[in-house]
Amino acid sequence: MKRGISFEIPNEYGRFLWEVLTPFEITKFIWLSGGEESYLVEDDELGKLLFTDEVNWIEGLSLKELLEDNRYYLIFVDLKAYSKENNPSLIEPYRDLDFLNSDCELVLLVVDSVCVTIYCKDSEKLERLFDNAKIKGFENLQYITDKNDTRSKLSVW
């Protein structure tokens, strides 16, 4: 079973979260940011934090505008998409049933500026995310499956 995808993005300033999430309907969800370290780029230098340094909720439209309208430098990112209709339950320990039974629809993790991991419940959306990463030319693109998934937490730490 395909659980997600992993790939590498360039280690440079850009709009890579926007590029990665383009096929996913960002505005239809509320997003939980883990408060990890990434920065807005201002005058070709690192500026303010991209996300606040604490766990917080972001409306989909606000996240879309933030990611689409700015350049940023990613170091660590932990974003989780939840349905707007449900009361989100936080998931951190990674067990198949915890994620599959939760209200979380997508998990996006970036580690060390380049390593991207995405878990997505919807297989059609996962295929679109995979195809998009392939079109964008992101390196080392592969599916995460039951056989090759070694993650024990849905977190960058």
Question: How much of the chain exceeds pLDDT 70, in percent?
Answer: 90
Residue 74 located in a structural domain:
yes
Partners of 32 in the β-ladder = 57, 80
DSSP E strands, 13-149: 29-33, 38-42, 45-49, 56-59, 72-74, 77-83, 104-111, 115-120, 139-145
Residue 114 located in a structural domain:
yes
- Per-residue confidence (pLDDT) for residue 49, from 0 to 100: 94
Question: Is 4 exposed, middle or buried, given 0-12, 13-18 or 19+ CB atoms closer than 10 A?
Answer: buried
Residue 6 located in a structural domain:
yes
User: Are the C-beta atoms of residues 14 and 20 closer than 8 Å to each other?
Assistant: no
Q: How confident is the model at residue 150 (pLDDT cuts 50, 70, 90)?
A: confident
Residue 80, C-beta contacts closer than 8 angstroms, at least 6 positions apart: 31, 32, 34, 91, 104, 106, 107, 108, 154
Q: How confident is the model at residue 144 (pLDDT cuts 50, 70, 90)?
A: very high
Residue 77 located in a structural domain:
yes
- How many whole angstroms separate alpha carbon 97 and alpha carbon 118? 17
Residue 154 located in a structural domain:
no
Buried b (16+ CB within 10 A) or exposed e, 99-136: beebbbbbbbbbbebbebbbbbbeeebbeebbebbeee
If one compares 156 and 70, the residue with the highest pLDDT of the two is: 70
- Per-residue confidence (pLDDT) for residue 152, from 0 to 100: 67
Domain containing 48 equals 2-145
- How many whole angstroms separate alpha carbon 33 and alpha carbon 116? 15
Residue 132 located in a structural domain:
yes
User: How many structural domains are present in the chain?
Assistant: 1
Q: How confident is the model at residue 93 (pLDDT cuts 50, 70, 90)?
A: very low
Report the relative pairing of strands 77-83 and 29-33 from DSSP bridges: antiparallel
- How many whole angstroms separate alpha carbon 82 and alpha carbon 72? 24
- Predicted TM-score of the model (pTM): 0.90
Residue 61 has pLDDT above 50, yes or no: yes
Residue 116 has pLDDT above 70, yes or no: yes
Residue 62 located in a structural domain:
yes
Helix then strand then coil, in percent of the chain rounded to 5, is 25, 40, 35
Residue 24 located in a structural domain:
yes
Q: How confident is the model at residue 94 (pLDDT cuts 50, 70, 90)?
A: very low
